[in-house]
């Protein structure tokens, strides 16, 4: 569904992504993990077109979108940002309507179908009852779901998410990750999400990609990527990895405080 080939991105003279190739399949949740500054957010920004690509190609849904206009790209790829800095006076309904942007004419007119799609998106993530509330009044978990609804209203086959669990408490973390998994497995979306928590990544994703210093270090099932010999050197501290007693996936524990 999303095919990234030999992607290079640079800020000034510094290469932040080097020869990144990645496949994201239909109906799959792929967790992007890696230390701070490894280029995870840069990858999401490059794929969504907000920073230029130095070399390489991005295909979405069999189309080369590397040099497409924002509108064309927004019909293939939707981004769920972190739920900070939303315009507080906007209503939930207004916010989710923004997802229909790539389908509007220059007058910005909304059809009945657009409104139906927005209603469905609100229902899908269970925030329809909030639609007349202002975004500024929402809790972090609610705001994150509204942003997910906005991405769904974009009707794209591909979703990119930048740390959807950041700033959320345990219950909301679990509920949003459940929702994401259902969207991939039941609705067939291809979802790439950045996660910091390796154990959440192990539990809720189908595959993991480990990014280190702008390069993909490992990609595969949790059992193939979350290996002490890979994770330890990449994050720069010794780790102990066991099989989780409930679901059998790897469970990572840091052994030692790193010397700074």
Residues that bind other proteins (CB under 8 A): 45, 48-50, 69-71, 73-75, 77-79, 81, 85-87, 89-91, 94, 98-99, 101-102, 104, 106-108, 150, 154
| Cβ-based nearer residue to other proteins, 8 or 103 | 103
| Cβ-based nearer residue to other proteins, 93 or 204 | 93
Task: Quote the CA–CA distance of 70 and 66 in Å, as a whole number.
Answer: 10
| Cβ-based nearer residue to other proteins, 24 or 231 | 24
| Cβ-based nearer residue to other proteins, 71 or 255 | 71
* DSSP-H helix ranges across the chain: 40-47, 70-74, 92-97, 112-124, 140-153, 170-185, 198-204, 222-225, 228-235
Token pair in block for residue 16: 């932040």
| Cβ-based nearer residue to other proteins, 159 or 168 | 159
Residues linked to residue 80 through DSSP beta bridges, in sequence order? 161
Q: Rounded to the nearest whole angstrom, what is the least distance from the CB of residue 74 to other proteins in the complex?
A: 3
DSSP structure string for 58-108: EEETTEE-TT--HHHHHTTEEEE--S-S--TTSBHHHHHHGGGGGG--TT-
Task: Quote the CA–CA distance of 198 and 203 in Å, as a whole number.
Answer: 9
Q: Rounded to the nearest whole angstrom, what is the least distance from the CB of residue 255 to other proteins in the complex?
A: 38
Q: Rounded to the nearest whole angstrom, what is the least distance from the CB of residue 146 to other proteins in the complex?
A: 12
Show Cβ contacts of residue 16 under 8 Å, excluding neighbours closer than 6 positions: 9, 10, 39, 42, 214
Q: Please check whether residue 63 is in contact with residue 3, taking contact to mean a CB–CB distance below 8 angstroms.
A: no
Q: Rounded to the nearest whole angstrom, what is the least distance from the CB of residue 110 to other proteins in the complex?
A: 9
| Cβ-based nearer residue to other proteins, 108 or 245 | 108
Task: Quote the CA–CA distance of 98 and 171 in Å, as a whole number.
Answer: 28
Q: Rounded to the nearest whole angstrom, what is the least distance from the CB of residue 41 to other proteins in the complex?
A: 11
Task: Quote the CA–CA distance of 223 and 208 in Å, as a whole number.
Answer: 9
Token pair in block for residue 189: 């979306």
| Cβ-based nearer residue to other proteins, 76 or 124 | 76
Q: Rounded to the nearest whole angstrom, what is the least distance from the CB of residue 223 to other proteins in the complex?
A: 33
Q: Rounded to the nearest whole angstrom, what is the least distance from the CB of residue 2 to other proteins in the complex?
A: 15
């Amino acid at each position: 569904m999303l095919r990234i080939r030999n992607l290079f991105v640079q800020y000034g003279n510094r290469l932040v992504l080097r020869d990144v190739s990645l496949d994201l399949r239909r109906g799959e949740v792929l967790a992007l993990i890696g230390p701070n500054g490894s280029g995870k957010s840069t990858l999401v920004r490059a794929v969504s077109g907000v920073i230029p690509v130095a070399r390489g190609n991005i295909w979405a849904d069999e189309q080369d979108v590397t040099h497409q206009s924002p509108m064309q790209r927004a019909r293939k790829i939707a981004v769920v940002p972190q739920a900070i800095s939303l315009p507080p006076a906007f209503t939930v309904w207004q916010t989710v309507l923004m997802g229909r942007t790539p389908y509007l004419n220059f007058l910005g007119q909304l059809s009945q179908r657009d409104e139906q799609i927005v209603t469905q998106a609100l229902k899908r993530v269970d925030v329809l009852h909030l639609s007349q509330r202002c975004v500024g009044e929402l809790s972090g978990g609610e705001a994150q779901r509204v942003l997910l609804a906005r991405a769904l209203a974009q009707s794209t086959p591909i979703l990119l998410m930048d740390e959807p669990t950041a700033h959320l408490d345990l219950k909301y973390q679990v509920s949003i990750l459940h929702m994401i998994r259902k969207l991939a497995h039941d609705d067939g979306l291809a979802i790439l999400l950045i996660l910091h928590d390796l154990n959440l990544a192990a539990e809720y994703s189908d595959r993991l990609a480990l990014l280190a210093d702008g390069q993909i270090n490992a990609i595969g099932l949790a059992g193939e990527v979350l290996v002490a010999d890979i994770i330890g050197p990449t994050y720069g501290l010794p780790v102990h990895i066991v099989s989780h007693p409930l679901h059998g996936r790897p469970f990572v524990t840091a052994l030692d405080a790193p010397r700074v």
